[in-house]
Amino acid sequence: GRLFVNRVFHISAEKMFDLLFTDSSFMRRFMDIRKIIGVSSTSWQREASGGMKRTLNYTITINNPLVGKFSTATETQTLYKESREGQYYMIDSEVYTHDVPYHDYFYTQNRYCIIRNSKHKCRLRIYTDVKYKKQPWGLVKSFITKNSWSGLEDYFRHFEAELLEEEAELTQGSGDA
């Protein structure tokens, strides 16, 4: 896997969770810019295991010439029961892209860790892995992996940049920099 984001933000852990994992205006705006459309989401539901789960469905716009322009996707997010409100949040997200070539072979697993650093700061880590449900032919596998990494890198670089903008807006004039 790869660590795409690893940075301290001048945003509290609680606020970071809200920005990323609720229907926040930040996420709505970001999805808008990425042309992720038709977003529907369940609410967070308690699991028997003690964790929480929610599922998102949406259509992504792809700019990879090898692939069609759109794909529907399903993202299942699990908030681990070890998470502590305001202190530490660990969320695993599994993303299935249903309309890309070889979609029945792979999915993407993103792990988000939000760790309280101080009252107004947290560290955000985003770790990504491409997972295989069945083993494709070697050449196909490297093709999938390569194309997934480039798409993911582009996405998370943009995501980090937008979060930095959000941080700047939130801290503006708050006087506790």
Which CB, 106 or 116, lies closer to ligand YK8? 106
Task: Give Cα 104 distance to the centre of its chain.
Answer: 21
Q: Does 19 bind ligand YK8 (CB under 6 A)?
A: no
Question: CB 11 → ligand YK8: shortest distance, Å?
Answer: 19
Of the candidates 79, 56, 59, 84, the residue with the CA atom closest to the CA atom of residue 69: 59
Which CB, 113 or 152, lies closer to ligand YK8? 152
CA distance 135 to 146: 16
Taking contact as CB under 6 A, which single stretch among the options 46-54, 57-65, 79-87, 118-126 is the one that binds ligand YK8? 57-65
CB 13 within 8 A of CB 115: yes
Task: Give Cα 17 distance to the centre of its chain.
Answer: 12
Q: Does 52 bind ligand YK8 (CB under 6 A)?
A: no
Point out the residue whose Cβ comes nearest to ligand YK8: 151
Question: CB 170 → ligand YK8: shortest distance, Å?
Answer: 22
CB 79 within 8 A of CB 50: no
Question: CB 134 → ligand YK8: shortest distance, Å?
Answer: 14
Query: Segment 92-151, which members bind ligand YK8 (CB under 6 A)?
Result: 95, 97, 100-102, 108, 110, 143-144, 147-148, 151
CA distance 96 to 76: 9
φ/ψ of residue 31, rounded to 5: -65, -35
Q: Give the tokens for residue 167.
A: 């941080």
Using CB under 6 A as the criterion, what x/- string covers residues 78-97 for binding ligand YK8? -----------------x-x
Question: CB 151 → ligand YK8: shortest distance, Å?
Answer: 3
CB 146 within 8 A of CB 20: no
Instruction: Using the structure block, give the residue that is written with the tokens 């896997």.
Output: 1
**Interacting residues toward ligand YK8 by CB under 6 A:** 60, 62, 64, 66-67, 75, 95, 97, 100-102, 108, 110, 143-144, 147-148, 151-152, 155
